[in-house]
Amino acid sequence: MRIFGLAAIVFAAALFAVGCGSDGNPTNNGSSPENGAQDTPVSPVDTLSVLSKSNLPACDANREGRAFFVQNENLPRLCVKGTWRSAADSTDFSITCSDGLLHAVDKIAHQPSFDVDTVRFSGLQRDSILGIVQNGPFIFGTSVVLNEASELNFYRADGIGHTASSCVQSNDGRYTLESVSTNSNYVKISATGFHRNLVTGGTSASPVTLSALTKVANTSEDAGATAPLRVRNSVNVNILTQLEIPRIEQLAMNHIDFAEAKAQAEREIFAAFGIDTVQLYSQPYFTDGRTDKPVAEDLDMFGNSEYSAALFAISAMLQGDRSEADMMSLVNSLTEDIKGDGIWNDPNWKIKIADWVVGLDTLWKYNDIRNNVSSWGVAAIPNFERYMRAFVPIAYGFEACTDANAGQVTFVNQGQSALFANDYEHADHSTVRFICDVNSKEWRIAQPIEKDTAGFGPGEYDKEIREGRVNHDSYYIFDSGAWRVATPQEADGFTDLVEVYANLKPDEKAVFIIRHSERTDETGPNGHLTSNGKTYARNLGARLAAIAKEDFYYGYSGYTRTQESCEEIAIGKGQVGYTLDVLPYMDGAWYVQDGSKADNYVNAEGGWAVYSKYAFTGAYEDAFYDLKTRSDELIKGNILANISTMKRVNIMCTHDYLVVPLLAYVTDGHANVRYYEKWRWVNYMAGVAMIISADGSVRYIPVKGLESGTM
């Protein structure tokens, strides 16, 4: 065989070496990195495509024998003897293909030769076999080769039978094998070429090979007739036909009939990707009235059927963000794994694919795939997303989503996954969680409020604020019987003290235990409020005065700044003749059992870190009282025990070292003042409201006197 011009071979090699263009990385639309295009490698065949015939380069010695694809004609033109020729105008040349590239071949030089070992044809004749090669469409230059497969050799193509070959001359993967003759009922059709990448939208950077093994005819004895006999004249080649071949061969070694082996292999491959074949096979596929279920070589991934969607999803998942070599390595690994027992046993590959699918879902990238396919002029794009999503829980080992667990939210506990979490609330690795959808009964990615409020149940009181279980910097409020996202003002977990007072029922009592207002740098017993601190406290009193028609009781710790805080609130409220008592149980050291040891910890680690860590983790047991015991003593043994001597509404001014442990106790660890972990500390005039009902029951609400409850 002689290809016109040795330069054509050199030209092809150069394309593979540097891609195309001055930097070796052009894009399909001619963009460059300078104008915002992505600087990524481009397939050599991307440079062999032009919009119209007028855009063809010169047909010179450097391009002799080379083919360019003309987009508006959807056909190639070949450079032959200085002229661009169409495939139909081939009186003195024919078309061949290798390594995914088309060539013009001199008919005179290309004379067939025969030798004594050539197998004589004595079997089946047919006019042609048609088909589509897809993993994304294979494009012009794809070579398609048919080889007989021997039933006696477990349907392997041993290379000694009849062959036929053809080239794809369009960009939609369609091929025709003319005048096929076989001695066997079985053939293997292999296609090698470049394909459109479903994920990137571009052309693959290197050619890949996919094959299909099929039965093209029954024996004449089976049919009760004599040869020639034609049965199958259409064979599509795709990733499913590739995956099933080793399993079919293995089953054949166990003396299982070809049709049965093929059906079993296809069921097992679908199952490996979490596709329910009972449901799938119940769907129609053929549009010509046939009611039988299709096999892999019938399938076209660009259609409206569930079969098309399943094939599309498997193709996209195996492609992922992989190179052609890595994709085929995965395909080969899968075929080898599934060959023996029909089960995909490798969890690592499954998890990698699932992670990638979740990434698509999280970033709303499914539309990118749809846009890619639409840009190729494909009319029908199936609902592939549902099959990709269905694979995810299979890979992660979730239980089936049913009525029994509808609404359940879970996490990925597979250590190999990029989405792994040590437990539900641990978000250092990933914040992605999954929910069993109540309506669809399918697992999907949980929305922030779904995963953050999972297990909350009803709030303990109206307007309760809780930190998100997964997104720990997000906050939710129980409002009108349901959880919703808290506003920024609500998000610190504290409710405005004035609002809590305004919502008191007539038969309820309230005790507001709050930190003093802003102080000076003097932290001893005689330290005063700043001028701002006095203003803050007086403004709080004024806001209370706007709705309060009753006098309040006031108590303080004995420190000057707590006394001034209560006094300024009373002044702002316009209350005269108020009671202001020193309350020893409001002392900031209420929770300290051993002052010397507590001071040592504070000097070494800082007071805010020590007191918050004690409050929320129980640390420093040798320095502090048990949180529950000491809090109950404060609430029951002192405040409630003396409530009859106070008024309906009472304000107690204390210190942060008392307020933080008390907040931790009454909110069951939900208060957002874990300084040791979240760097949040209770703000001035923030604390706890004790609401005492007529029946003596008590509920607690974190309250704030300023705009924020934390600092």
What percentage of residues in the chain have a pLDDT greater than 70? 88
When divided into structural domains, the chain yields a total of 4
In DSSP terms, 215 is beta-bridged to: 186
Q: 162 pLDDT band (50/70/90 cuts)?
A: confident
Judge if 408 and 527 occupy the same domain.
no
Judge if 61 and 198 occupy the same domain.
no
Q: Six-digit token pair at 91?
A: 């009186």
DSSP output for 433-502: -EEE-TTT-SEEEPPHHHHHSTT--S-SSTT-EEE-SSSTT-EEEEETTEEEEPPTTTTTS-EEHHHHHH
Give the three-state DSSP class for 702.
Answer: strand
Q: Is residue 100 part of a domain?
A: yes
Judge if 573 and 637 occupy the same domain.
yes
Tens digit of pLDDT for each residue in 66-115? 999 998 888 899 999 999 998 888 788 888 998 889 988 877 554 444 34
Judge if 239 and 269 occupy the same domain.
yes
If DSSP states are collapsed to H, E and C, what string results for 599-620? Answer: HHHHHHHCHHHHHHHHHHHCCC
Judge if 570 and 631 occupy the same domain.
yes
Judge if 366 and 407 occupy the same domain.
no
Judge if 482 and 549 occupy the same domain.
no
For residue 681, what is the domain's CATH number? 3.40.50.1240
Q: Is residue 383 part of a domain?
A: no
Judge if 72 and 137 occupy the same domain.
no
Give the three-state DSSP class for 386.
Answer: helix
Is it the case that residue 220 has pLDDT exceeding 90?
no
User: Of 489, 519, 537, which one is at a domain's C-terminal end?
Assistant: 489
Q: Six-digit token pair at 692?
A: 């005492």
Domain holding 680, by residue range, is: 492-704
Q: Is residue 206 part of a domain?
A: yes
Is it the case that residue 120 has pLDDT exceeding 80?
no
Q: Is residue 352 part of a domain?
A: yes
Q: 230 pLDDT band (50/70/90 cuts)?
A: very low
Average pLDDT, the chain: 86
Tens digit of pLDDT for each residue in 640-654? 999 999 999 999 999
pLDDT at position 155, please?
A: 79
The Cα-based distances of 554 to 557, 577, 653, 660 in angstroms read 11, 11, 8, 20
Nearest to 514 by CA among 633, 683, 344: 683
- What is the edge-to-edge ordering of all strands in the sheet holding 186-193? 163-167, 143-149, 186-193, 208-215
Judge if 329 and 443 occupy the same domain.
no
Is it the case that residue 222 has pLDDT exceeding 50?
no
User: What's the mean pLDDT in 207-223?
Assistant: 75
Tell whether pTM > 0.85: no
Judge if 497 and 476 occupy the same domain.
no
Q: Is residue 465 part of a domain?
A: yes
Cβ count near 325 (within 10 Å)? 11
Judge if 539 and 623 occupy the same domain.
yes
pLDDT at position 38, please?
A: 40
User: Of 455, 489, 523, which one is at a domain's C-terminal end?
Assistant: 489
Judge if 138 and 283 occupy the same domain.
yes
Q: Is residue 611 part of a domain?
A: yes
Tens digit of pLDDT for each residue in 586-600? 999 999 999 999 999
Q: Is residue 404 part of a domain?
A: yes
Q: Is residue 117 part of a domain?
A: no
User: Of 50, 80, 106, which one is at a domain's C-terminal end?
Assistant: 106
